[in-house]
Structure 1
């Protein structure tokens, strides 16, 4: 839908013959990427096959995909195998959490919270209530919209985008499916956003704002996300106040 038929080869000739198209055809895309229409059509249908890296890269270039969308395309095309599922709490990391001067927590592939520090518990006491799950809290807890500044634009779309890509990475994670289903059943705005073209792999490095206890104005924070090598799939998340920001 991003492409205009006017930019495609042969448009002027087709227009002269009275054959105008409102959307770009599979044949036109296939001609631009240099592969057969049959091969490209299989990709559009979601058929996982032995697509080459060159083919995927050409498709991403022609369809004008950004880096996140290109990575998502690779997942959909079966170019990256899903990570192994790990549900055990990583050992030895609680002292790391407690040693941080800012809020920090550890979550698993389904965003269940498996470890927190005192700073996190003081900022977000409600996050440990509803099944102790970050995503369920963000979309079903009544306090989340107030705490997550600009929830509708800065938080919700990217969080849902993370859920969507996680569902592709961990197709056998039943807990993740339960979390997504509960969110979509409970939150009308989440259902609306879920129907759109959202994709996000992580929030590491993002700067956004929170309403925190003891502060009248929103507190800008940088999200720092790390993955312990001893336990792939778990995330160590730190909410670091941004120096110099009001």
Structure 2
């Protein structure tokens, strides 16, 4: 149970709500944002003292029933409620470290998709496996270090992005997505040095990451499209689809373009260039 993170998360979500959101009268002008602690306690059917101690990081582990009541009181989404249970230590824990091994079938699958950029991401946003078209869009992944293959570092640390050569036009949505996913990973793997050190590095090295981290978001809007600036073919806008691989806590990511579009033609040109370089033609 991470008492400090649990308290911070509860306070953050409480301060985001207004009385009208939960069917309470606004009343007199409030000195602090959001709901009062006593209002959350009443809505969750628990004592004010116990809820206050939870926010202060002084309470014993709450039961699943108490967490369910708090989730309802704070209008948490399914993802936020699951995160709350993780913080409280009532959810099923995964392995001590996240899995970085990729199933051979996944590697074979992305290689059989020559018209799509395909790669597998770890829970810590490291690209673990990729096809040739991914190399054309994301840079020379084989030559990159594990740190440079990490999309979270590319999103928030300019020096890493410059070394990789891959440039994305608008990172706002993706950055929100990265922070939300990493916050979940940090709770799921509290003793994994790769995850914890990455979060610490990004918090220290990026003011944007530190600001977003304090929001305690665990569910971001999915990144639907992404535009790359490629030195050879110019801007390419692709559709982004992510398939979860729950057995290893990984993601299969596919970038595709609308058939017949200029973006699709650009991807096809890159595919031909990569194929030509591989065959020596």
TM-score (norm 1): 0.77
Q: Quick check: 1:208–1:221 contact (8 Å CA) kept in 2?
A: yes
Match of 1:64 in 2: 75
Structure 1 or 2: more helix by fraction: 2
Work out the CA distance in 1 between the residues paired with 2:212 and 2:26: 35
Give ranges in structure 2 of 5+ residues lacking alignment: 1-14, 264-281
Alignment equivalent of 2:256, drawn from 237, 240, 244:
240
Q: Partner of 1:198 in structure 2?
A: 217
**Counterpart mapping for 1:127-206 below 5 A:** 129-130=144-145, 131=147, 132-140=149-157, 141-143=160-162, 147-151=167-171, 153-200=172-219, 203=222, 206=223
1: CA distance between counterparts of 2:192 and 2:221?
Answer: 18
Q: Among residues 90, 99, 122, which one is paired with 2:136 in the alignment?
A: 122
TM-score w.r.t. length of structure 2? 0.69
Sort the Cα spacing of 1:32 and 1:196 in 2 relative to 1 into closer, same or farther, 3 A. closer
Q: Who is 1:32 aligned against?
A: 43
**Structure 1 gap ranges (5+):** none
Whether the aligned pair in 2 keeps the contact of 1:2 and 1:63 (CA below 8 Å) is: no
Q: Give the Cα–Cα distance (whole angstroms) in 1 for the partners of residues 165 and 224 of structure 2.
A: 17
Instruction: List aligned pairs for 1:83-102, cutoff 5 A.
Output: 83-84=94-95, 85-93=97-105, 94-101=107-114, 102=116
RMSD over equivalenced CA pairs, Å: 3.2
Q: Deviations over 1:77-99 (max 9, x none)?
A: 22312311354523423222211
- Give aligned pairs, total: 234
For residues 237 and 61 of structure 2, the distance between their equivalents in structure 1, rounded to whole angstroms, comes to 47
Supply the distance in 2 between the matched residues of 1:186 and 1:114 (Cα, whole angstroms): 24
